[in-house]
Structure 1
Amino acid sequence: MDFAYSDKVVQLQDRLSRFMEEHIYPNEAALYAQVAAGDTRWKPLPLLEELKAKARAEGLWNLFLPESDLGAGLTNLDYAPLCEIMGRSHWAPEVFNCSAPDTGNMEVLVRYGTPAQKRQWLEPLLAGEIRSGFAMTEPEVASSDATNIETRIERQGDHYLINGRKWWTSGANDTRCKILILMGKTDPDNPDRHRQQSMVLVPTDTPGVTIKRPVPVFGYDDAPHGHAEVLFDNVRVPLENMLLGEGRGFEIAQGRLGPGRIHHCMRLIGAAERALELMCRRLSSRIAFGKPVAAQSVWHERIAESRCLIEQARLLTLKAAFMMDTVGNKVAKAEIAMIKVVAPNMACKVIDWAIQAFGGAGVSDDFPIAWMYANARTLRLADGPDEVHRGQLAKLELAKHDPRSNSRSGGHAAVKPR
């Protein structure tokens, strides 16, 4: 495996970092202030729109989308260090049109959308003209097992009738959110539990779609993006809104969640890096008990451990990205599961130490680390909780040593240097 970045990626790293220094970090406080001062928390922020125009003018736009001529022509491995840089700020991913859930939804449309679906929804998403939401999790069932989903998608003539309730529907509060990708059951009696579900496109202005409320995370509503509880009451959409075909929802989910999971991990590494930087500066600038706090040996241990944890998570993420590029997401499922466990846990630990270094300021909104922690802790649940990924990994590992199996790979592909 060769993790050396190409000249193109190194140049993009430099350009992104300079943009962050010049435009993102200096404007973070002003962006939060615009959210607080606006007549509604869910409308576009004027300053954010200005920054997006600057990023697009500089060619720092749609840097994701591997295996597609619609993005920047980067592989997952190429994108990893760039996504990490964006992860250093709450606002940065959207500025570069690389934020969830839009990235995942755009990948779904690229891979599985019809030409008409792409024209209507993918093109304006790529242009940053609209935003989108992803409606999968439900409040009434244990959604860590997605076969539990109860939302019904029933075919009636030339339409589908949708009934159900979703929550943690990312992006649905945003007034720019015009389309939802919804997962529900079209064939609940199918003996194959993974063929019961389908994914369908639901415009947010469809009668019967009701945004019930924003769902905050540790008190953060993440306006103007956020997550929402959404009610679908006799919602009708045309048959052509079905993605890929009835019963193929799980197939789409696996194609979508692999890239989504690794993007979260890339961003978490950037957040942890920034938290470590802030921690070191704070410890060096504060005096306690007659000497800099940085001189206390307990902080030497935490700083060193933070560096080890970040480097380990980064290398594992790069390996997963490399495998996704070379052998595909399905074969790389173990590596994707591993990073989805490792990166959020790593970030939680490093950011928690940063909070401790800042004392009372660490849990305030004067610094970005409290939000960083809330986000990192949420990602131990989002896109599958730790327990689900650990369970999958254990099964793969046991399979490698099962005397009844001829396979010795356990789901891992042989990885050859490029």
Structure 2
Amino acid sequence: MDFSLPPEVAELKARTEAFVRDALIPLERDPRQTPHGPTDELRRELNALARGAGLLSPHMPREWGGLGLSHGAKAAVFEAAGYGLLGPLALNIAAPDEGNMHLLEQVADERQKRRWLAPLASAEVRSCFAMTEPHPGAGADPALLATRYRKAAGGYVINGTKWLITGADGAAFTIIMARDEESPEGQPRATMFLADMDRPGIVIERTLDTIDQSFPGGHCVVAFQDLFVPEEDVLGREGEGFRYAQVRLAPARLTHCMRWLGAARRAHDVATDYARRRHAFGKPLIDHEGVGFQLADNELDIHTCRLVTAHAAWVLDQGQKGRHESSVAKVICSEAIWRVVDRSMQVMGGLGTTGDAVVERIFREVRPFRIYDGPSEVHRWSIARKLAREGAR
């Protein structure tokens, strides 16, 4: 692997870093950030700033207004954006929209792309992805999918409840994963549907209180009550929902690694600066091995994350599916990033636990990363199954 960045990517990374530092970090205490995420008013202002800087939706193909970045280039630019808490949102590369754009670009037909992808890529609207369900429905185990659809004249009728649907409040449309009600238990036949959120039959029951607050629209409970979806709004082919989910999930897991790595690096930089300036027992904190070694371990974890992310991005850029590599990266990065931020808080002592330091906010934001897009335990199970299959061969 060649670890050097092409000149145009290096320049874009530097521009992103400058934009985050100069335009976004000063806005991190904007009062329009609520317990359930930044308001759409703030989002639109941030998107306008990124558009003016030529940084909006850089991951999208040029035909949709982006810069056509490879997965490897995304790793550099997304990490730079993630250094600021508002960076991914401003650049229109935050979840769930970034993953939905990738899915639509890969699977949707031309009419659907014009109808839903175009306004999403230009940051005119937000979206959500409705797959996760409360007990006893699907969480980490998609075979438990409980939301059902049945055929009707000219389309389909969907019934079910989803929860932890990121960005649902204020989203313009959703991508719904549902099972054919005639498919057998434990072996559901799943399909993806596109639907505007203002359609009759879609009800946002409540917004959940969660420890993170970086996603506009929060995390919601959404009910589908006899929702009618016309045939032309099936995403891809009927019955192929689980296959399309993999099209979305492998790259989306990796972009989470990229963005949160930037946030972890921010926490590490803040803690390192503090340890250089703060004195105790006659010398700077960083000169005490108990502190200096924690920061050294941060450097090791950050370097490991960057390498494993670069490798998984390279695999995707070779045209491979990257399921195994993205699982490996997701586990390594989600756990290492958590360690980095946790150590940073420890180094800063009492200050690190307060809102006076950004580390406290980052601490809350990165903890759920070990759960969403597949908890670490499920990815380890998947990796172990791959080892068992290889051993059998």
**Which residue in the other structure is 2:177 paired with?**
183
SS of the residue aligned with 1:45? Answer: helix
| In structure 2, C-alpha distance between the alignment counterparts of 1:100 and 1:281, rounded to whole Å | 30
| CA drift at 1:70 | 5.1
| In structure 1, C-alpha distance between the alignment counterparts of 2:66 and 2:213, rounded to whole Å | 30
| CA drift at 1:357 | 1.9
| CA drift at 1:283 | 1.4
Q: Do the aligned partners of 2:167 and 2:215 also contact (CA within 8 Å) in 1?
A: no
| In structure 1, C-alpha distance between the alignment counterparts of 2:33 and 2:384, rounded to whole Å | 44
**Which residue in the other structure is 1:86 paired with?**
81
Larger mean CA deviation between 316-325 and 103-112 belongs to 103-112
SS of the residue aligned with 2:139? Answer: coil
**Candidates 339, 342, 357, aligned match of 2:332:** 342
| CA drift at 1:392 | 1.2
After TM superposition, the structure 1 = structure 2 runs for residues 3-402 of structure 1, keeping only pairs within 5 Å, are 3-30=3-30, 33-36=31-34, 43-46=39-42, 48-65=43-60, 71-141=66-136, 143-173=139-169, 175=170, 177-190=171-184, 193=187, 196-218=189-211, 220-222=212-214, 224-329=216-321, 332-402=322-392
| In structure 1, C-alpha distance between the alignment counterparts of 2:338 and 2:186, rounded to whole Å | 37
| In structure 1, C-alpha distance between the alignment counterparts of 2:279 and 2:2, rounded to whole Å | 44
Q: How many residues align?
A: 392
**Over aligned residues, Cα RMSD in angstroms?**
2.1
Q: Do the aligned partners of 2:341 and 2:362 also contact (CA within 8 Å) in 1?
A: yes
Q: How far does the alpha carbon of each residue in 1:195-249 deviate from its partner, in whole angstroms, 9 at most, with x for none? A: 611110121101121111112322x444633211111111112111111111111
| In structure 2, C-alpha distance between the alignment counterparts of 1:386 and 1:340, rounded to whole Å | 8
| CA drift at 1:102 | 0.7
Segments of 5+ residues of structure 2 without an aligned counterpart are none
Q: Structure 1 7/221 Cα, relative in aligned 2: closer, same or farther at 3 Å?
A: closer
Identity over aligned residues, as a percent? 33
| In structure 1, C-alpha distance between the alignment counterparts of 2:125 and 2:390, rounded to whole Å | 46
Equivalent residue letter for 1:168: L
TM-score, normalising length: structure 1: 0.89
Q: Structure 1 41/282 Cα, relative in aligned 2: closer, same or farther at 3 Å?
A: closer
Equivalent residue letter for 1:165: T
Q: Structure 1 362/225 Cα, relative in aligned 2: closer, same or farther at 3 Å?
A: farther
| In structure 2, C-alpha distance between the alignment counterparts of 1:41 and 1:66, rounded to whole Å | 28
**Which residue in the other structure is 1:409 paired with?**
none
SS of the residue aligned with 2:28? Answer: helix
| In structure 1, C-alpha distance between the alignment counterparts of 2:62 and 2:254, rounded to whole Å | 16
Q: Do the aligned partners of 2:25 and 2:86 also contact (CA within 8 Å) in 1?
A: no
| CA drift at 1:13 | 0.9
SS of the residue aligned with 2:195? Answer: strand
Q: Structure 1 36/245 Cα, relative in aligned 2: closer, same or farther at 3 Å?
A: closer
| In structure 2, C-alpha distance between the alignment counterparts of 1:50 and 1:400, rounded to whole Å | 51
Q: Do the aligned partners of 1:183 and 1:198 also contact (CA within 8 Å) in 2?
A: yes
Q: Do the aligned partners of 1:87 and 1:271 also contact (CA within 8 Å) in 2?
A: yes
Larger mean CA deviation between 312-321 and 88-97 belongs to 88-97
Q: Structure 1 300/314 Cα, relative in aligned 2: closer, same or farther at 3 Å?
A: same
| In structure 1, C-alpha distance between the alignment counterparts of 2:275 and 2:177, rounded to whole Å | 47
| In structure 2, C-alpha distance between the alignment counterparts of 1:3 and 1:50, rounded to whole Å | 35
| In structure 1, C-alpha distance between the alignment counterparts of 2:64 and 2:192, rounded to whole Å | 25
| CA drift at 1:364 | 2.5
| In structure 1, C-alpha distance between the alignment counterparts of 2:88 and 2:119, rounded to whole Å | 17
SS of the residue aligned with 1:224? Answer: coil
Q: Do the aligned partners of 1:186 and 1:246 also contact (CA within 8 Å) in 2?
A: no
SS of the residue aligned with 1:200? Answer: strand
**Which residue in the other structure is 1:408 paired with?**
none
Larger mean CA deviation between 234-243 and 314-323 belongs to 234-243
Segments of 5+ residues of structure 1 without an aligned counterpart are 406-418
